[in-house]
Amino acid sequence: MSEFIHLGQEKRHQNQILFNAIARRYDFLNHFLSLGLDLHWRRKLVQSLPATLQGPVLDVATGTGDLALAILKRFPELKLTGLDNTPAMLEQARHKMIKRGVEFVTVTADAEQTGFEAKIFTALTIAFGLRNIGNYSEALQEFFRILQPNGRLLILEFNRPESRVFGPLYSFYFHRILPLVGGFISGSKAYHYLPESVDNFPDRITLRKLIADAGFSNIKITDLTYGVVTLITAEKPII
Ligand SMILES: C[S@@+](CC[C@H](N)C(=O)[O-])C[C@H]1O[C@@H](n2cnc3c(N)ncnc32)[C@H](O)[C@@H]1O
């Protein structure tokens, strides 16, 4: 158990160094390497939020704030907080807020221990963040704790396409081309880490079980772009 906690802490520390190093180029590389699809994937998550959504909403691993800003575009009056444990990423988010004349609260904290009181958020979103977290179960239990009964959990995450034709082609791009181009532009190993972290991420069945074990119900997993990314929605039961 202590070894498990140690591994989680180690991953957290490594990721903070990594995201700190790429923070200023993160947005450009995201859009460039995904051919702009990252914007489409976040939009899909935003469209899955109920039209009647009222805050407060927490965007975990908010990074440079792209998902938070996309949510606020649809719900301009929403009370939204963006949480992340890499200050340099949050700094980019704040620059963007000023540029766009939009505001949301940013909090520097770990997803596994947010420090929020129980049952306060109506929805919790996390885009391309869960995979980076040291201990998935611990984080999911924390999300469950801070959500209100009937609160929504929405996760966007990379996955491994299951198609026999598209899968190998994508795998070649993801494992060979992307680390080269991303590494060249960012000067960082982050884009070697990306395919490695997706390879090690739980498959759809295991993920569903982890989310259910944390207490969530009505879990739906939808593949986007042939399963390159999955959108997962779940609810905290009323009782
Ligand atoms: C790939 S970025 C995603 C950023 C943003 N959500 C997006 O859609 O582009 C992952 C973010 O997760 C953050 N992160 C990783 N582990 C974390 C943890 N344990 N607690 C909080 N944030 C974490 C990183 O600092 C980074 O900003």
Distance 127 CA to ligand 1 centre (A): 8
* Rounded distance between C-alpha atoms, residue 22 and residue 238, angstroms: 41
* Rounded distance between C-alpha atoms, residue 23 and residue 128, angstroms: 15
Which of 138, 156, 196 lies closest to 48, judged by CA?
A: 156
Which of 110, 92, 186 lies closest to 146, judged by CA?
A: 110
**φ and ψ of 127, to 5 deg:** -115, 120
The per-residue pLDDT for range 111-123, each reduced to its tens digit, is 999 999 999 999 9
For the cut 80, the answer to whether the pLDDT of residue 41 exceeds it is: yes
Distance 21 CA to ligand 1 centre (A): 13
User: What are residue 127's DSSP bridge partners?
Assistant: 156
Residue partners of 40: CB distance under 8 A and separation at least 6? 224, 225
Which of 67, 32, 63 lies closest to 133, judged by CA?
A: 63
Please tell me the predicted confidence (pLDDT) of residue 7: 54
Q: How far apart are the first and last CA of the chain?
A: 30
DSSP single-letter state for residue 62: -
Report the pLDDT averaged over residues 50-63.
Answer: 95
Q: What is the mean pLDDT of the chain?
A: 90
In percent, how much of the chain has pLDDT > 90? 63
Distance 132 CA to ligand 1 centre (A): 7
Which of 78, 16, 11, 26 lies closest to 50, judged by CA?
A: 78
* Rounded distance between C-alpha atoms, residue 146 and residue 134, angstroms: 19
For the cut 60, the answer to whether the pLDDT of residue 6 exceeds it is: no
Burial of 101 (0-12, 13-18, 19+ CB in 10 A): exposed
Distance 235 CA to ligand 1 centre (A): 22
Pocket test for ligand 1, best of 37, 62, 94 (most atoms within 8 A of CB): 62
Please tell me the predicted confidence (pLDDT) of residue 215: 98
Pocket of ligand 1 (CB under 6 A): 12, 15, 19, 61-63, 66-67, 84-86, 89, 110-112, 127-129, 132-134
Per-residue exposure over 123-156, b if at least 16 CB sit within 10 Å of its own CB, e if not: bbbbbbbbbbbbbbebbbebbbbbbbeebbbbbb
Domains of the chain, CATH where assigned: 2-235 (3.40.50.150)
* Rounded distance between C-alpha atoms, residue 90 and residue 63, angstroms: 6
For the cut 60, the answer to whether the pLDDT of residue 233 exceeds it is: yes
Distance 54 CA to ligand 1 centre (A): 24
Distance 128 CA to ligand 1 centre (A): 7
* Rounded distance between C-alpha atoms, residue 105 and residue 196, angstroms: 32
Handedness of CA 54, 56, 57, 59 (dihedral sign): positive
In percent, how much of the chain has pLDDT > 70? 97
Please tell me the predicted confidence (pLDDT) of residue 171: 83
Instruction: Give the residue, 230 or 22, on which the prediction is more confident.
Output: 230
Please tell me the predicted confidence (pLDDT) of residue 22: 85
- Least confident stretch, 37-41, 63-67, 130-134, 164-168: 164-168
The per-residue pLDDT for range 178-206, each reduced to its tens digit, is 788 877 777 777 777 778 888 888 999 99
* Rounded distance between C-alpha atoms, residue 53 and residue 49, angstroms: 7
Q: Which two tokens stand for residue 114?
A: 């947010």
Pocket test for ligand 1, best of 38, 81, 132, 194 (most atoms within 8 A of CB): 132
pTM (predicted TM-score): 0.92
The per-residue pLDDT for range 116-161, each reduced to its tens digit, is 999 999 999 999 999 989 889 999 999 999 999 999 999 999 998 8
Report the pLDDT averaged over residues 160-175.
Answer: 82
Instruction: Give the residue, 107 or 21, on which the prediction is more confident.
Output: 107
| Residues in the chain, total | 239
Task: Ligand 1, residue 134: give the atom nearest the CA.
Answer: 19
